[in-house]
């Protein structure tokens, strides 16, 4: 949940797990202060874990858009759950100490604990998040904790000093189980209510995929698409972004009078870049590689999106591949090294989300651009969306240095997109080239373009002083400095 609403998954996972383990240590230390009614305290702890941990996802999701001290609540919940979990194992070992030899007791309890950790760590990415989502999955795990507590009142009934206490804990356990069950049944309502607070426009579509949360909103000025809470486009001005993303690359190719037959789009599962590519009748093949099949399915079937992308997915020239772009490029590179014939691409459109996490940041590294370079034809051109040179100036020029370090020759340009502000891109090729000054003579009539013309194209390669080059470090796979820089720069504007 922290990585979903705050971004930077590595930082969130590290800090949450660190605080959790620290709190477990505190809980283990506190356990020595408990001297009586060990079994009752153990079951009560399990019930508390069920209630607080099971409902934590919903509480955090509801609180994020409403309170300024979200991180205090986040780490407070992590600490409390860790403290309670840290109590469990010492209490359980003391309860069972008369039933087993010490060495057998330690091995059995810790073995069960570690095996449980393995099962949970596998269930989280493979089942809980993709099938249930974070909030419903949290309620389900909490219900499992409540059932464990109820089961212990029967399995360990001889260890209770007072039978009435066991019955009272059973009542508490069932109440918590039913509360969490009600929360699970109402998860969709909780999510809808919380997301309504996050977005300024009414939500018209929402879906949790194994990779991300898709949300579409609609207002007076059109509709918007969000991925994990980050705006991807607004329908009323996305044409500025996508025309700038596609047409300068074709203009650069036209300078060399080279045919543009095969085009690759990495990312861009909404089909809007493909819409612009279709305006070039000479293109024979369009390949689209996007990780999430839910995005390409949405773009293919949703009425709002199909109208906007002009039914791009119905084009017989289009081939859609749902795979991680870096893995796909690596596989093609390996096939090429093995001597297999690998078709090269005349134009590559690289349209990934901003590098706000390390999972996305790898797609802006020297390693990734080297793989992309291998897939680019000798006279081909690639274009990279590269965040804002105004709001994230150092990030923008870090991408420039990364392209340079990959033995590519980049050319920087920018356009104004009202939804995002000044937005930057790079053209890049195997060799040096002059920035294009005229649109391709082989394109479709100017009437089909709403924003880009020759004057706009020429001005796009001119930078004001406050957006010009600054010294930056290349972004490499083993350090990903770009993710850290990006997070620091954009945090000033949020």
Interatomic CA distance for residues 400 and 424, integer angstroms: 11
End-to-end CA distance of the chain: 19
Q: Are strands 285-289 and 318-321 parallel, antiparallel or unpaired?
A: parallel
- Check if the beta carbon of residue 285 is closer than 8 Å to that of residue 321: no
Question: Is residue 351 annotated as a catalytic residue, yes or no?
Answer: yes
The number of residues in the chain equals 494
Provide the pairing of β-strand 285-289 with 262-267: parallel
> β-strands 222-227, 230-234: how paired?
antiparallel
R_g (Cα) of the chain, nearest Å: 27
CA distance 486 to 398: 10
- The 10 Å Cβ neighbour count of residue 277 is 27
Exactly one of 351, 354, 466, 478 is catalytic; name it. Answer: 351
**How many whole angstroms separate alpha carbon 119 and alpha carbon 125?**
11
Angstrom distance (rounded) from CA 403 to CA 195: 37
In whole angstroms, give the CA distance from residue 406 to residue 307. Answer: 38
Local structure of 142: helix, strand or coil: helix
Q: Which residues are catalytic?
A: 351
């Amino acid at each position: 949940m922290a990585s979903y609403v705050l971004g930077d998954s590595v930082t969130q996972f590290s800090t949450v797990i660190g605080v959790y383990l620290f709190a477990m240590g505190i809980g283990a230390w506190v356990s020595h202060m408990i001297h009586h009614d060990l079994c009752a305290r153990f079951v009560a702890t399990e019930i508390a874990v069920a209630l607080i941990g099971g409902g934590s996802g919903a509480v955090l999701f509801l609180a994020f858009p409403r309170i300024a001290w979200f991180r205090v609540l986040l780490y407070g919940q992590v600490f409390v759950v860790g403290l309670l979990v840290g109590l469990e194992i010492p209490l359980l070992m003391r309860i069972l100490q008369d039933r087993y030899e010490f060495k057998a007791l330690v091995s059995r309890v810790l073995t069960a604990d570690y095996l449980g950790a393995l099962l949970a760590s596998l269930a989280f990415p493979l089942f809980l998040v993709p099938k249930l989502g974070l909030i419903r999955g949290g309620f389900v795990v909490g219900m499992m904790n409540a059932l464990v507590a109820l089961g212990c009142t029967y399995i360990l009934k001889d260890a209770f000093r007072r039978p009435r206490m066991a019955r009272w804990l059973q009542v508490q356990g069932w109440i918590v189980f039913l509360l969490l069950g009600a929360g699970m049944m109402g998860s969709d309502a909780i999510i809808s209510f919380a997301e309504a607070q996050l977005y300024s426009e009414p939500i018209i579509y929402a879906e949790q995929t194994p990779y991300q949360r898709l949300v579409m909103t609609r207002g007076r000025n059109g509709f918007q698409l969000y991925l994990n809470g980050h705006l991807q486009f607004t329908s009323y001005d996305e044409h500025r972004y996508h025309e700038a993303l596609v047409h300068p690359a074709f203009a650069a190719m036209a300078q060399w009078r080279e045919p543009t037959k095969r085009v690759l789009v990495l990312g861009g599962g909404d089909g809007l870049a493909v819409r612009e590519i279709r305006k070039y009748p000479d293109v024979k093949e369009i390949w689209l590689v996007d990780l999430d099949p839910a995005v390409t399915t949405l773009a293919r079937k949703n009425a709002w999106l199909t109208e906007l992308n002009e039914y791009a997915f119905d084009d017989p020239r289009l081939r859609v591949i749902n795979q991680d772009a870096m893995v796909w490029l690596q596989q093609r590179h390996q096939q090429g090294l093995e001597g297999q014939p690998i078709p090269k691409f005349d134009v590559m459109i690289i349209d990934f989300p901003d590098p706000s996490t390390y999972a996305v940041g790898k797609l802006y590294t020297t390693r990734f651009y080297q793989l992309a370079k291998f897939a680019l034809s000798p006279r081909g051109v690639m274009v990279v969306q590269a965040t804002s040179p105004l709001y994230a100036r150092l990030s923008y020029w870090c991408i420039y240095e990364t392209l340079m370090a990959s033995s590519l020759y980049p050319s920087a340009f920018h356009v104004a997109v009202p939804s995002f502000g000044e937005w930057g891109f790079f053209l890049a090729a195997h060799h040096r080239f002059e920035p294009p000054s005229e649109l391709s003579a082989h394109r479709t009539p100017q009437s089909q373009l709403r924003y880009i013309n020759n004057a706009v194209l020429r001005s796009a390669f001119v930078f004001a002083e406050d957006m010009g080059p600054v010294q930056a470090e290349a972004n490499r796979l083993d350090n990903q400095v770009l993710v850290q820089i990006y997070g620091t720069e954009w945090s000033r504007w949020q």
